[in-house]
Amino acid sequence: MRKSTLMFTSWLMLSAVTLQSGTVFAADAAANIRADAANGQVIFNEGKGDASACIGCHGEKGLGMDAMSAPRLANIGQVYIVKQLANFANDLYVPSGMGAVMNGIGKALSDQDRRDVAAYLESLEYEIESSDLKALATDGIKVGKPEQGKILVSKGIKGRVPACQDCHGFNGRAPHIPALNQQKYVYLVNQLNNYRDGTRTSDPKVNKIGIMQGIAKKLSQENIMDIAAFLSTAPRITP
């Protein structure tokens, strides 16, 4: 076996150990979160203080909007949403474009508010609302090929990139890190590009290297669009 393959395999093993540890931590965290979903619903729909209502960008049911590059929030993971809101509040992740408002919103919400919003979003009945890839293409947005993306998500690129499902779960979902199926196409493309160019650095680190940054740097733009095309339309399936 070549040295590069051995190093890649070792990196994957280390990543797996790190993420498994994170799984235990996340499970414990989820069990210990005391949250008021009813208060979270009020904040989501009406906002609170300087925090504007989430519904304006993320939609009535938290399913996201491609037109605003706003991600799906419903059912993507309670622990993950609490973590992301804390990242925004502490400027550990500073989005660009329309997402730039999130740092102010994170700061305007208390720790408990963030838990409450996350609990509300997790309590919503699961709904499918795939990105309309044909409509996006008609609007001039470059769209990938779902069938190619499915291969990358399930198998990765041999010797270069691990399968997305290795960490995110079958078809791109797992409880300890964000669910990716039915996530919005534009958001997925933007975030993978942000990881690749180093403007998003809040991903878990292995040997001081961000896992998602390292992966994204090995993806072509075509790879990124294909992955996003598949995940944004992937059904909810339990293996």
> Comparing 33-123 with 131-231, is the CATH topology the same?
yes
- CA-based torsion, 202, 207, 208, 214: positive or negative: negative
Report domain 131-231's class: mainly alpha
> What confidence tens digit (pLDDT) does each residue in 103-130 have?
999 999 999 999 999 999 999 999 999 9
Question: Which of the given ranges, 16-30, 151-165, 198-212, has the highest pLDDT on average?
Answer: 151-165
Nearest to 166 by CA among 93, 228, 215: 215
Q: Give percent above pLDDT 90 in the chain.
A: 76
> What confidence tens digit (pLDDT) does each residue in 180-191 have?
999 999 999 999
Q: What is the pLDDT of residue 236?
A: 86
The pLDDT confidence band at residue 171, using thresholds 50, 70 and 90, is: confident
Domain spans, the chain: 33-123, 131-231
- Correct CATH for 33-123 of 3.30.1330.180, 3.40.50.150, 1.10.3720.10, 1.10.760.10: 1.10.760.10
pLDDT of 43 higher than 70: yes
Q: How many residues does the chain have?
A: 239
Its pTM stands at 0.86
Q: What is the pLDDT of residue 239?
A: 57
